[in-house]
Structures are given as C-alpha cells and as structure tokens.
Amino acid sequence: MGSPWQRLCTLGTVLLCIVRGDVLPEGINRRPIIGILAQTSHMKDLGKYYIAASYVKYLESAGARVVPIRILLPGGGVDLQTSKYSHVARLFYDKAKQAFKREDYFAIWGTCLGFEELTVLTSGKLLLTQTNTSGIALPLNFTKAINESRMFQNFPKDLLEALATEPITSNFHTWSLSLKTFMENKELSEFYKVLSTNTYKGIEFVSTMEAKDYPIYGVQWHPEKNAFEWKNLKGLVHLPVGIKMSFYLADFFVNEARKSHHRFASKEEEEKALIYNYNPVFTGNFSSFQQCYFFD
Ligand SMILES: *[C@@H]1O[C@H](CO)[C@@H](O)[C@H](O)[C@H]1NC(C)=O
Ligand SMILES: *[C@@H]1O[C@H](CO)[C@@H](O)[C@H](O)[C@H]1NC(C)=O
Ligand SMILES: *[C@@H]1O[C@H](CO)[C@@H](O)[C@H](O)[C@H]1NC(C)=O
Ligand SMILES: *[C@@H]1O[C@H](CO)[C@@H](O)[C@H](O)[C@H]1NC(C)=O
C-alpha cells in the first residue's frame, strides 16, 4: 500500500536548486550545487529518508554537485498538501518566485511526484486524475509551445524527433494532471505552458510543462532513469537515444542552476552539506532503485 505519496508517484522526487559562487564575468556560476528533497523512506531500517542515487548521478553527469535536503521532522501520514515534504517544497517554491522578481535566478525542477507537488503548489488544490500509468514508456506529444520553450531550445533536432516518435520517456505514476483539468484551472493555465501531453486509456494528461514567467519546470516522466536505473521493469528503456535525451535535459537544468549566485556562507558549511558525506547503498535486490542514499 505505502503512504499517499508513494501511491501518487511510485518513483519520484522533486529537485530544487541552491547554488554557490565562483561566478564568471558573464555571470555564469561554474560551481553549481543543486538541492534534492529527500522523501520518507519505506525502507525504514536503512534510514528515515532517502534519495534515489539516480537523481544524484543525473545532475552530476551534467556538471553539478548535489546537496540532500532532509525533512527534519518524521513523516507519518504524508499528504500532497499537508506533509513536511510539501511544506519544504512550498518554502522553496515561494522563495524561488520572490527571488526571480528581484532578478535573482533560482530554478526549480519537479520530476513525477515533484511535478504533482508543483501542480498543488500553484493551484492550491489536489487536482489529479487516476490514470494507472505506471511502468509504461511513451513518446511525447509535443504542443506548439515546444518551439518557443526554454527546456528544449538547445535540443538537437534529431533528439526532439526521437522524443516525439520513440517510446523513451519512463512513466511510473498512478495519477496525472489531465489536460482538461489544466485548462479549467486558471491558476495552472496562467502559470504554466504545456510542452507535451500523453493520452492513455482516453485520458490526455500533461507530461511536460514550464512556467511562463519563472524558471520552474515539471516532468511527469523520469528523464533520470534511462541512464541510471537497471531493474528489469517494464517502462525502463536504455536505448542510446534515450540516454542522450536524459543528458540533454540534465544539461538544461544544470545550466539553469549556473544562473544562480546563491552560496553557502563558508567552504566548511558547503562541504558539510554535500552528498559526498553519504554513501549510496545497493538496493537493487529489494527495491526498484539500484542505489539509494539514506538519512536520519
Ligand atoms: C485504475 O485502476 C483502478 C484500480 O485498479 C481502477 O478502479 C480504475 O478504473 C483504473 N483507471 C483507469 C483510467 O484505468
Ligand atoms: C516546431 O518548428 C519546426 C520547424 O520550424 C516545425 O517543423 C515543427 O512542426 C514545429 N513543432 C510544433 C509542435 O509545432
Ligand atoms: C498522441 O496524441 C494522439 C491524438 O490525441 C493520441 O491518439 C496518441 O495516443 C498520443 N500518443 C501518446 C504517446 O500519448
Ligand atoms: C540485498 O543485498 C545486500 C548487499 O548485498 C544484502 O546485505 C541484503 O541482505 C540483500 N537484501 C535482500 C532483501 O536480499
């Protein structure tokens, strides 16, 4: 069964961004650090919270370092609107928006559960529809907005074509945001541009979106899995073109992080926070993740 979180998105998390200096003259941060929000662990004897190592490797592959963001209070009955996870996510979401208004770039990315959390943060409501889209690889149905999107602006043409025609995006979610709900909700449709949808069992749902006026991004699918998750699961694809797609998306977000000039107060504080203080554990023999980091 698991918590409501796990039911909403079987294999997801939200990525958030806090970054430290060494800024180049053109304003590019050469030493980006990205925070990943930990989730309450169902592998309890290994730690109270976990982060799947695939998210860490994904960001590291494109030149970022990672800091785990632990939720300091115990989980319990987690919920998209009232859990500690959602409180921490709201904190970063609000800060990112306020920062951007001050021309202070602070990007946020939501993958799967993180995508679902973004829809709650923006609309103030839980608006998801059950689609049972778990363990399915799909191509993306791009909307017209793709051509002026930030997320795909530097994608090679052949990769975009592959994304549109080959089933290389991994879906592991039971619930989705239907396009109809999106269009009917003013908060969502004014805030985000839908970049792709998918149709499953007659329900068209939003699979990729980016905020119109903020560096906030959401994918209902999992770009990090292609290269880093190896469980023999339906819906996981390791085609070379899928790995390349994964890298280009990681590269996009790390470049967003390079625009941020947030920094830790000291080198010591930074070193203490980095994920290098933790060792990933092999979990591939009992969970769907190959490796996870655990925290108390
Ligand atoms: C999803 O699965 C649930 C439980 O098995 C079922 O009641 C529901 O009709 C399914 N929905 C879709 C869209 O397949
Ligand atoms: C985006 O632009 C390209 C080239 O101009 C065009 O071929 C393609 O159909 C456009 N895509 C969408 C989804 O409108
Ligand atoms: C793309 O959209 C078409 C038309 O709505 C639909 O029939 C098809 O199933 C969609 N493809 C995917 C992969 O979602
Ligand atoms: C999984 O593998 C680890 C390390 O090899 C081992 O310690 C653990 O007992 C195994 N767990 C299960 C459930 O088989």
DSSP letter at 266 equals S
| pLDDT for the residue numbered 189 | 98
Q: Please say whether the structural domain 4-295 has been given the CATH code 3.90.400.10.
A: no
Residue 141 CB–ligand 2 contact under 6 Å: no
Per-residue confidence at 284, pLDDT binned at 50, 70, 90? very high
CB–CB of 71/49 below 8 Å?
A: yes
Render the burial of 45-76: b for 16+ CB within 10 Å, e for the rest: ebbbbbbbbbbbbbbbbbebbbbbbbbeeebe
3-state SS, residue 198: strand
Residue 9 bears catalytic tag: no
Residue 292 bears catalytic tag: no
Pocket test for ligand 2, best of 141, 142, 143, 147 (most atoms within 8 A of CB): 147
Residue 199 CB–ligand 1 contact under 6 Å: no
Nearest CA to ligand 2 atom 5: 147
* Every domain of the chain and the residues it spans: 4-295
Specify the pTM.
0.90
| pLDDT for the residue numbered 190 | 98
Identify the burial level of 126 via C-beta atoms within 10 angstroms of its C-beta, where 0-12 means exposed, 13-18 middle and 19 or more buried: middle
pLDDT digits (tens, 9 = 90+) for 82-115: 677 788 888 888 888 888 888 888 899 999 989 9
Nearest ligand, measured from the Cα of 137: 3
What phi and psi values does residue 6 have, to the nearest 5 degrees?
A: -70, -30
CA atoms within 13 A on the CB side of 14: 33
pLDDT digits (tens, 9 = 90+) for 151-172: 999 899 999 999 999 999 999 9
C-alpha span between 161 and 157 (Å, rounded) = 6
Residue 74 CB–ligand 4 contact under 6 Å: no
Catalytic choice (112, 173, 262, 292): 112
| Best-predicted range by mean pLDDT (25-39, 243-257, 259-273) | 243-257
Extract the tokens encoding 85. Answer: 């996870």
Ligand 1 centroid – CA 203 distance (Å): 12
pLDDT digits (tens, 9 = 90+) for 180-200: 999 999 999 999 999 999 999
Extract the tokens encoding 133. Answer: 């889209």
pLDDT digits (tens, 9 = 90+) for 14-72: 555 555 555 555 678 889 999 998 888 888 789 989 999 999 999 999 999 999 987 64
Residues with CB under 6 A from ligand 3: 138-139, 141, 198-199
Nearest ligand, measured from the Cα of 133: 1
Please choose, from the candidates 259, 264, 250, the residue with its C-alpha nearest in 3D space to the C-alpha of residue 56: 250
pLDDT digits (tens, 9 = 90+) for 121-145: 999 999 999 999 999 999 999 999 9
C-alpha span between 8 and 2 (Å, rounded) = 10
